[in-house]
């Protein structure tokens, strides 16, 4: 059992013991599953902390998302461990094991090609330890960039190359001191310059390791350029930024905003997608941003929603043919495909739960 502040309470948690109000009256029975309307009632009753048990409901949701998973859980975990080893070696001696890079990129590419369909769940690696951010972020950016590429008809060797470029996009950060990397505060001007230079360090590292493909280098060096020319290091604009740079920029921002960091909480994928859409043609290339919506939908998996019939549910897969009508697991109910149930629609976006 854990005591959780009500502000952290989420759908999927189960009440571990009876919750009483100040008069001793039981207002919530042991075993009750939390949802947004219960959280609202508890708030009104002046309850600030609740006892909860592990989240059985999330494992039920996992079973549903796995049916549409574009990468298997086993492959995600396996490749995560490979990414970790790759970066740890790189941190030690500046050596990039190219065979491992190709092995990881090929394995993810193969899963994406075999499992890509109209109903999609994209599993990403959840950050569990701040020190491991670079590893999970690199893997996630590789997966997202590959999806954006597939949505834009990029195939074969070019798809493999963008996966490689995305996996290595932040290798330059291994040259940035840890105090700057993990600073739980805004950086000073000088620290910011060092941080920004990670794209240059990354390009150098890649060249030193005989990675000479100019598209791969472009993704590493230009993933912080912005469509309107306000990015770094060169301040390049629009299509002067390499295609890989423009794709990885979107994947990078999506994963960074949805992840928890030492200085900020995670944004929900719904909020992040809205942010990226709002900044199309300012920060991001619209064509590739559209690919993000195609793959994740407007309401990515894990988004808690309410329907026009009052029911609550959780999105378990996007629907590539209809971005605002995903597959939803109704609480205590069945899966509803909104692209078939035309009388139903999403009226409210609530919380978000991470399904890995």
In sign, the C-alpha dihedral spanning 175, 233, 161, 83 is positive
Kind plus residue range of the DSSP H or E element containing 207: helix 198-208
Question: Contacts for 313-316 with beta carbons within 8 Å, 24 or more apart?
Answer: 314/11, 314/61, 314/353, 316/61, 316/64, 316/65, 316/68, 316/121, 316/355
User: How far apart are alpha carbons 206 and 217 in whole angstroms?
Assistant: 7
Q: Applying CB under 5 A, which part among 99-107, 165-173, 186-194, 323-331 lies near Fe ion?
A: 165-173
Q: How far is the CB of 168 from Fe ion (least distance, A)?
A: 11
Q: Applying CB under 5 A, which part among 46-54, 64-72, 127-135, 164-172 lies near Fe ion?
A: 164-172
Kind plus residue range of the DSSP H or E element containing 52: strand 49-53
Nearer to Fe ion, 141 or 350 (CB): 141
Q: How far is the CB of 139 from Fe ion (least distance, A)?
A: 14
Q: How far is the CB of 169 from Fe ion (least distance, A)?
A: 6
Q: How far is the CB of 252 from Fe ion (least distance, A)?
A: 6
Number of Cβ within 10 Å of residue 48's Cβ equals 9
Nearer to Fe ion, 127 or 353 (CB): 127
User: How far apart are alpha carbons 353 and 79 in whole angstroms?
Assistant: 23
Residue 225 found at the interface with Fe ion (CB under 5 A): no
Q: How far is the CB of 352 from Fe ion (least distance, A)?
A: 24
Helix 133-151 crosses helix 243-258 at what angle (to 10 degrees)?
Answer: 130
Nearer to Fe ion, 177 or 333 (CB): 177
Q: Show the binding pattern over residues 114-153: x = contacts Fe ion (CB under 5 A), - = does not.
A: ----------------------------------------
Number of residues that bind Fe ion (CB under 5 A): 1
Nearer to Fe ion, 27 or 256 (CB): 256
Q: How far from each other are the two terminal CA atoms of the chain, in whole angstroms?
A: 22
Residue 170 found at the interface with Fe ion (CB under 5 A): yes
Q: Which residues contact 227 (CB under 8 A, 6 or more apart)?
A: 237, 238, 241, 246, 281, 282, 283, 284, 285
Q: How far is the CB of 164 from Fe ion (least distance, A)?
A: 16
Nearer to Fe ion, 111 or 170 (CB): 170
Nearer to Fe ion, 160 or 181 (CB): 181
Q: How far is the CB of 111 from Fe ion (least distance, A)?
A: 25
**Is the preceding peptide bond at 320 cis, omega within 30 degrees of 0?**
no
Nearer to Fe ion, 203 or 304 (CB): 203
Which one, of 79, 242, 107, 73, lies nearest residue 165 by Cα?
A: 242
Helix 98-115 crosses helix 156-167 at what angle (to 10 degrees)?
Answer: 120
b/e 222-237 (16+ beta carbons within 10 angstroms → b): bbbbbbeeebbeeebe
Q: Applying CB under 5 A, which part among 24-32, 169-177, 188-196, 304-312 lies near Fe ion?
A: 169-177
Q: Applying CB under 5 A, which part among 11-19, 46-54, 63-71, 168-176 lies near Fe ion?
A: 168-176
Which 8-state DSSP code applies to residue 78? H
Number of Cβ within 10 Å of residue 20's Cβ equals 12
Nearer to Fe ion, 170 or 225 (CB): 170
Q: How far is the CB of 38 from Fe ion (least distance, A)?
A: 41
Q: How far is the CB of 81 from Fe ion (least distance, A)?
A: 22
Nearer to Fe ion, 12 or 218 (CB): 218
Q: Which residues are at the interface with Fe ion (CB under 5 A)?
A: 170
């Amino acid at each position: 059992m854990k005591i959780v502040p009500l502000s952290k309470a989420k759908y999927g948690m189960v009440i571990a013991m009876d919750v009483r109000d100040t008069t001793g009256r039981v207002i919530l029975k042991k075993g009750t599953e939390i949802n947004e309307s219960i959280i609202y009632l508890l708030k009104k009753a002046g309850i600030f902390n609740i006892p909860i048990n592990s989240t059985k409901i999330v494992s039920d949701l996992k079973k549903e998302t796995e049916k549409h998973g574009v990468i298997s859980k086993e492959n995600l975990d396996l490749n995560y461990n490979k990414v970790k080893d790759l970066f740890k070696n790189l941190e030690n001696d500046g050596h990039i094991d190219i065979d491992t890079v190709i092995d990881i990129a090929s394995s993810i590419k193969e899963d994406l090609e075999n499992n890509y369909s109209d109903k999609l769940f994209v599993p990403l690696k959840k950050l569990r330890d701040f020190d491991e951010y670079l590893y999970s972020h690199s893997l996630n950016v590789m997966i997202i960039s590959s999806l954006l590429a597939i949505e834009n008809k990029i195939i074969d060797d070019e798809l493999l190359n963008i996966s490689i470029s995305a996996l290595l996009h932040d290798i330059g950060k291994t040259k940035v001191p840890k105090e700057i990397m993990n600073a739980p505060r805004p950086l000073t001007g000088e620290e910011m310059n060092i941080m920004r230079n990670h794209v240059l360090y990354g390009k150098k590292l890649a060249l030193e390791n005989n990675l000479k493909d100019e598209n791969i280098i472009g993704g590493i060096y230009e993933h912080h350029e912005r469509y309107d020319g306000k990015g770094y290091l060169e301040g390049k604009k629009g299509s002067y930024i390499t295609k890989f740079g423009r794709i990885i920029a979107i994947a990078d921002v999506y994963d960074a905003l949805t992840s928890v960091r030492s200085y900020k909480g995670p944004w929900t994928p719904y909020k992040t997608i809205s942010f990226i859409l709002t900044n199309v043609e300012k920060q991001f290339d619209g064509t590739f941003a559209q690919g993000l919506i195609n793959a994740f939908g407007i309401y990515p998996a894990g988004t808690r929603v309410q329907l026009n019939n009052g029911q609550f549910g959780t999105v378990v897969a996007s629907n590539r043919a209809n971005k605002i009508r995903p597959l939803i697991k109704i609480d205590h109910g069945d899966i509803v495909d909104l692209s078939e149930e035309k009388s139903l629609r999403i009226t409210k976006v609530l919380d978000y739960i991470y399904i890995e």
